Amino acid sequence: MNPAATGPDRVLFYPPADARQDGPYSEAHAGPAQAAADVGGSVVPSDADAPYGDGSATALVMVYPVPVEDVEAILAANPSLGWIQLPFAGIERYVPLIRKRTDIQWTSAKGVYAPPVAEHALALTLALLRNLPERVRATGWGPGGGTTLNGLNCVVVGGGGIAREYLRLLKTWDTTVTMVRRTEDEVPGADRTVTQDRLDEVLPGADVVMIAAAATDETRGMIGAQQLELMDPTAILINIARGTLVDTDALVSALAAGSIRSAGLDVTDPEPLPDGHPLWAEPRCLITPHTADTPQMCIPLINARSERNLAARAEGSALEGRVDAEAGY
């Protein structure tokens, strides 16, 4: 199908309602279903016996991440499929299929979850600066301490929605912020923007380093032993992107040696982080279980994007969150 073709869609929601998880996913996408009808489209019936519908779907809206094999099966069963809405911004598992099927319009959730994820990154930042990991474990009064964000030098790795929202939050304080991104385009509001190949130049002297870049072959292990060694002993590291961007063994060693002050992680490699892993026992590491964007927060946000994209398809206008197959996000 020509990816530029538009019009009211026959929308398949996957997985079918009777196969979805309990809780917030069970009623997911009632809004997009109504949005499809509002622009003259319709919903392709599906259930456990016919999970890929009747073969007439022109659009697929995924309720939550599913195996790539399922998406391939849906594509094979629905030859007129021209658009797929992915539910998350981190789409690395789907990139090989996206690169193979460039005849499809692929959109992701990039930028959609920026407010809650940036809020979580800020929470981790403030917790580390105020020594909360140690205080949570304390059994006595102990010494005081803590650092304010005012006057700090912050490095934000990434140029997307989460990075920009975190930048906006940082600017509530008197901070100096350097953005590190793939392209040379200046990020509005930043004090400086540099390209990714200059990361090592900006790490020395940084008080806060926050990772919000996409997970690609290029960014895998971008924070390794060398980068951690370049950071000041008073610096904190925050990762709300993907665990693969940070070399876990190198981080364990850096924390144990006091090469950096502390780390706040919402993502790890491996994930989930196994019981007994050294990071669990590290008193200066704060770990949350990939909860910067919970289903309760995310479903209304991704539904709104799906609704806007359904209307855009019907109108023949540009879709939000178009995937860059070559870049991998």
- Residues 95, 130 share a domain: no
Q: Which pLDDT value is given to residue 3?
A: 42
The amino acid at 39: V
Residue 291 CA to residue 235 CA, distance in Å, equals 24
- pLDDT tens profile 31-56: 888 888 899 999 999 999 999 999 99
pTM of the model: 0.90
User: What is the mean pLDDT of the segment spanning 222-250?
Assistant: 98
Q: Give catalytic status of residue 290 as yes or no.
A: yes
- Residues 148, 174 share a domain: yes
Selection from 134, 117, 114 nearest residue 236 by Cα: 134
The amino acid at 157: V
- Residues 249, 121 share a domain: yes
Instruction: For 193, list phi and psi in degrees, rounded to 5.
Output: -125, 130
Domain count for the chain:
2
- Residues 194, 160 share a domain: yes
Classify residue 199: in a domain, yes or no: yes
CA distances to 183, 205, 223, 288, 325 from 170, rounded to whole Å, are: 22, 17, 22, 21, 31
- Residues 160, 85 share a domain: no
- Residues 223, 275 share a domain: yes
Residue 132, domain CATH: 3.40.50.720
Instruction: Kindly name the residue from 29, 242, 284, 305 that is annotated as catalytic.
Output: 242
Angle at 233 between CA 229 and CA 237, to 5 degrees: 75
Q: Order of strands across the sheet with 83-85?
A: 42-43, 10-14, 59-62, 83-85, 105-107
Instruction: Kindly name the residue from 134, 271, 282, 308 that is annotated as catalytic.
Output: 271
Q: Give catalytic status of residue 322 as yes or no.
A: no
4 pLDDT more than 60: no
User: What is the mean pLDDT of the segment spanning 308-312?
Assistant: 95
Classify residue 5: in a domain, yes or no: no
pLDDT tier for residue 160 given thresholds of 50, 70 and 90: very high
Q: Give catalytic status of residue 277 as yes or no.
A: no
* Segments forming the whole domain that contains residue 221: 113-287
User: What is the mean pLDDT of the segment spanning 302-322?
Assistant: 94
153 pLDDT more than 60: yes
80 pLDDT more than 80: yes
- pLDDT tens profile 204-214: 999 999 999 99
- Residues 67, 182 share a domain: no
Q: Order of strands across the sheet with 153-157?
A: 192-195, 176-181, 153-157, 208-211, 236-239, 262-265, 285-287
Classify residue 320: in a domain, yes or no: no
